[in-house]
Every structure is written in structure tokens, then in C-alpha cells.
Amino acid sequence: MLISDFGGEDAVIKLIESLHIGGDDRVVVGFGDDAAVLRTGTNRLLIVTTDLLIEGTHFRRDIIDAYSLGWKAVAVNISDIAAMGGKPTWGFVSIALPNIEVSFVEELYRGMNDISNRYGSKIIGGDTNRVAGNIVVNVAQLGEVEDGRYALRSTAKPGQRVLVTGFIGESLAGFKLLDRLGFEQASREHPEVVQRHIRPIPRVAEARAATENNLVRAMMDLSDGLAIDLGKMCKASSVGARIYTEKLPVSGALKQAAEALGENAAVLAASGGEDYELLIAANPEDAERLADIVHQATGTMVTEIGEFTEGSETVIVSLDGEEKPLEPGWIHF
């Protein structure tokens, strides 16, 4: 049976989980969240995550430069650390490369080092291999979080509010413009959404501010898009959700990009992937305070876009009040 017939990415992950035998008391969080959390014998927990970028599946060299590829490869991992409420510490990079220019490798690692340094992390090892085909970049990122402060995606409850940081949908718009116009023209005419796609900004400071006062009830990052990731949080928490089109945080840059693409900005916001914003569950009485704390600490806005519900459905309410299933956008398999 092929993976596509087996049930896609989620089914493969569940299969891998089922093949994992044995337990370890030091594992606080294992399979099923943004990262693993391990007890190290101190009051700080070790966070470990890894992400794989494959040329042709996750990136194309005609629409992303080597520096930005290096930046993004590390950024997506640091975002997982942020989603757990932690701070990044060290990274390990493994790459498989064809016979390409040395300058590509130099720029790739320059991007990796720059974003690592920005967040107080260091790349301290890894592996290299030669491949006849496409480039493969794998980053394993470590981080740490205080015991009792880590956030999970599986702890949302009905009645709690759905919050997101920043703006969503810009990365998908950036990708579509890069695909249609090419790197030079898209970067010149729509620089904000293009940058959101090729050089995402992990929300480490925002996550730390949000978790500092114990106001976060559940949290994860938006790597696969609101529709898919909200569905993942709901499934992990055994809840449903209702979000509202009119409340989606849509930027002026996204509106301009949507007009250029001939698409609906709200649809891009609801279905787009790779924004790496934070998806947060908070109690109704805490939602506004949490948003204020994060904004005052970081300058990043936090928007309430809906609520968690009983059941298992995730729906979006249109401007005319009609409820529809929230459709997924970014699929790996």
C-alpha cells in the first residue's frame, strides 16, 4: 500500500508511534506535539525537534536563494521550540548535496548562523553527504524550558478562545507570487509577503511572554496553515472549533497580494501554510490580557478569531453568517 492510499502524513506518524516500543520516565512529552520535552534532572527541561526540507517538495532553488534556505531551515525548527514555550540553544545540521558551487554552501550556512545567533542558539554539529539528485537539509534543534512552563497542543477545552499572533496567509501568497512572477519580480513588487515565505520569523519572544503568566491553555505553531493546524489541535484536545472570517488578521500586504493573484485574502489567511505564527487557546477571561501582555512585550498583535467547541468539527463562519468546514491548505504527502 502506498502512503497516499494509507492516509497521508497523519497516518504515517501514527504508524511510527505504534512501532515505538518501551517507555522512559525522562520523556515528559514524546510523539504527537511540536517537539519532545525531556527531563534532565534539573528544573529546566530539554526540548528536541527536527525538520526536513527536501528540494522539489519544500523548496525550489529558482524561487529561494541559498541564504534564505539556510535561514528557513533553522527557523522552522526554532518555531517548534517556541511553540512549546521554550528558548532555542543548539542546532545540528545534516545536508545531502549534489556537486554544486561552494558559494551555495557558504550562503546556506551563513543564513543558518545568522538566524541561530539572532535567537541565542548555536549550530554545533551535524553531517554531510553527497547525493545525485535533490538537496536535502535536515536540522535537529535543541531548546530548554522551565519545568511547568511548557505548552502543549492537546490541552484546549470547549469555551476557550482561539488566538493567533501576527498576520496569517502571507507566506502562501508569497509562494504563489514567486511561482507566478519569479524571484526578482515578486521580490520587487511584493517584498513583504515574499520575505514571509522565504525568511519566516519564529515567535520565540511572543511565546515566552504568553506563557510567563500561566495564561496559555494550549499552543502550537502554524506551520501547515490555520485550517490544518487548528484541526490538529482540536483532534489532540478532543474538541471542535468555530472561527470567524471577519476576525482573521489580514494585513494590507496580503490584500494587495491577493488582488494581484485574483484570490480572496481571507481564504489565503484561513488555508495558507508556513506562516509560523502561534495558535493559542486561552480562557475567555484571560484572552484580552494575554494579547495585551504579548503586544506590550514584543510589539506583536494577538487576535482572537473564534472559540473551541464541543464535538470535533472545525468550522469557519462567513461574513453572511454561513458555517462551512474549515478546508486544509498545506499538505506534505
Same domain assignment for residues 78 and 213 = no
Residue 58 lies in a domain: yes
Same domain? For 142 and 168 the reply is no
Residues 82 and 172 in one domain: no
Q: Say if CB 32 and CB 17 are below 8 A apart.
A: yes
Which residue segment(s) compose the domain that 244 sits in? 161-325
Is 154 part of a structural domain of the chain? no
CA separation for the pair 329, 273 (Å, rounded):
7
How far apart are alpha carbons 188 and 44 in whole angstroms?
45
Q: What is the CATH number of the domain that holds 121?
A: 3.30.1330.10
Domain co-membership, 98 together with 172: no
* DSSP state for residue 134 in the 8-state scheme: S
Same-domain check for residues 22 and 84: yes
Same domain, residue pair 225 and 100? no
Distance CA(21)–CA(251), nearest Å, equals 46
Please say which residue of 122, 146, 170 terminates a domain. Answer: 146
pLDDT score for 31: 67
CA dist 289 and 118 (Å) reads 28
Locate 89 and state its grid cell: 540553544
Q: Which of 270, 276, 278 is nearest to 329 (CA)?
A: 270
Structural domain includes residue 321: yes
Tell which of 97, 115, 146 closes a domain: 146
Specify whether 216 is located in the same domain as 303.
yes
Q: Establish if 153 belongs to a structural domain.
A: no
Residue 271: inside a domain: yes
CATH code where residue 226 lies: 3.90.650.10
| In a shared domain, residues 193 and 246 | yes
Q: Residue 150 has which C-alpha cell?
A: 511548557
Q: Are 54 and 136 in contact (CB under 8 A)?
A: yes
In whole angstroms, what is the distance from residue 328 CA to residue 210 CA? 27
Ranges of beta strands (E only) in the chain are 27-29, 36-39, 44-54, 87-97, 122-130, 136-146, 161-165, 218-221, 240-244, 278-282, 302-309, 314-317, 323-325
Is residue 151 a part of any domain in this protein? no
Same domain, 208 and 312: yes
Distance of alpha carbon 77 from alpha carbon 164, whole angstroms: 19
CA 116 to chain centre: 17
SS3 content of the chain, % helix, strand, coil (to 5): 40, 25, 35
pLDDT of residue 8: 67
Same domain (yes/no): 209, 121: no
Number of Cβ within a 10 Å radius of residue 253 = 21
Are residues 87 and 142 located together in one domain of the fold? yes
User: Residue 122's CB: how many other CB atoms inside 10 A?
Assistant: 13
Under 8 Å between Cβ of 119 and 314: no
Q: How far apart are CA 282 and CA 259, in angstroms?
A: 34
The DSSP code sequence of 76-93 is: HHHHHHHHTT-EEEEEEE
97 and 183, same domain (yes or no): no
Domain boundary among 88, 119, 146: 146
Q: What domain count does the chain have?
A: 2
Q: Classify residue 246 by its DSSP letter.
A: G
Please provide residue 95's backbone torsions phi and psi, each rounded to the nearest 5 degrees.
Answer: -130, 145
pLDDT in tens, the chain (333 residues): 675 777 766 776 676 666 555 566 777 777 667 677 777 777 889 999 999 999 999 999 999 999 999 999 999 999 999 999 999 998 999 999 998 888 999 999 999 999 999 999 988 888 888 889 999 999 999 999 999 999 999 999 999 999 999 999 999 999 999 999 999 999 999 999 999 999 999 999 999 999 998 999 999 999 999 999 999 999 999 999 999 999 999 999 999 999 999 999 999 999 999 999 999 999 999 999 999 999 999 999 999 999 999 999 999 999 888 999 997 754 443
Is the residue at 28 inside a domain? yes
| Contact residues for 25 (Cβ-Cβ < 8 A; gap 6+) | 39
Position 268 in a domain: yes
